[in-house]
Amino acid sequence: MLTLYSYWRSSAAYRVRIALNLKGLAFDQVPVHLVKYGGQQHSADYQALNPQELLPLLVDQGNGGVRIAQSLAILEYLDEVFPSTPLLPPDPAQRAQVRALALHIACDLHPLNNLRVLQYLSAELGIADTAKDAWYRHWLHKGLAAVEAGLAVFNDRLSLGEQPGYLEACLVPQLYNARRFNCDLDAYPRILAMTARCETLQAFAQAAPEVQPDAV
C-alpha cells in the first residue's frame, strides 16, 4: 500500500498525485495542512516522518514502510519499483532533456516561490505584498520563459511522444500555481498547449487540487 502525505494546493504533492495516477497505482492520502495551526508540516509528528518539513512524503508499506521525501525522488522511485507505464523516455538523451526541464521547474523556479520563502519575505524581512508579488512573478516568468524555449525539442508532442510523464507532472502543477496567482501566460503557447492536452486526461483531472479530499 502507498500513502501520500499531501495538501490539496501543494504543487509538489500534485506532481506525485499525477505520477501515481499515470501509473494506475492506488494510494491513500494523509492531509497535512500547510497553513492552519502554524503549518502542520512543522508539527513534531510530521517532522519525525520528514525532517525537511515539506510535502510531499510517500510511504510504501509494501517495501518495509520506506519513507521518501522530495517529489522528484518519489517519481524516480515509482518508475523503478513500478516500471510499467514509465514516466521517463527510454533514450538517455531524451531522458536527460526531460529531466533538465523538470529540474528547472522543481529546483530553480518553484523553491523561490514556495510558501516558506514568501512567508519569510513578509514576516521576517517586512516586504510589502506588492513587492512580494513582483518577486513571485519575476521568478515565475524567468522559469517559464526558459521552459517555453526548452519545449521546442518536443515538436509539439508530449515528453513521451503521445504520453505525458515526468515533465508534464511538473509542468501542470506549476501552471496551476501561475493561474492561482493570476499571472499572464500569453507568452507561453507551448506550455499552454502541453498543459491543455494533459488536463483532458483522467490521471491529471483526478490529481487536480480542487478534487482532493482535503480541498476546501
Ligand X SMILES: N[C@@H](CCC(=O)N[C@@H](CS)C(=O)NCC(=O)O)C(=O)O
The x, y and z cell numbers of residue 150, run together, are 526548452
Q: Is 70 in the site for ligand X (CB under 6 A)?
A: yes
Contact between 41 and ligand X by CB under 6 A: the answer reads yes
Nearest to 167 by CA among 113, 111, 91, 88: 88
Residue list 72-91, contact with ligand X (CB under 6 A) = 72
| Minimum distance of ligand X from residue 71's CB (angstroms) | 4
**Can you tell me whether residue 161 is helix, strand or coil?**
strand
For ligand X, the binding residue among 81, 100, 112, 115 (CB under 6 A) is 115
CB 43 within 8 A of CB 37: yes
212 binds ligand X (CB under 6 A): no
Stretch that binds ligand X, among 18-26, 48-56, 120-128, 193-201 (CB under 6 A): 48-56
* Residue 146, number of CB atoms within 10 A of its CB: 16
**Sheet strand arrangement including 2-6:** 28-31, 2-6, 57-60, 66-69
What whole-number distance in Å separates Cα of residue 84 and Cα of residue 80?
9
Q: Cβ–Cβ contacts within 10 Å for residue 206, how many?
A: 13
Q: Site for ligand X (CB under 6 A): which residue of 106, 175, 178, 191?
A: 106
**Would you count residue 19 as binding ligand X (CB under 6 A)?**
no
> CA gyration radius for the chain?
17
Which CB sits closer to ligand X, 54 or 198? 54
Q: Whole-number minimum distance, CB 54 to ligand X, in Å? A: 4
Q: In the complex, what is the shortest distance from the CB of residue 82 to ligand X, in angstroms, rounded to a whole number?
A: 19
58 contributes a contact to ligand X by CB under 6 A: no
Identity of the residue, 71 or 159, whose beta carbon is nearer to ligand X in the bound complex: 71
- How many residues are there in the chain? 216
Residues that bind ligand X (CB under 6 A): 10-12, 34, 39, 41, 54-56, 70-72, 106, 114-116
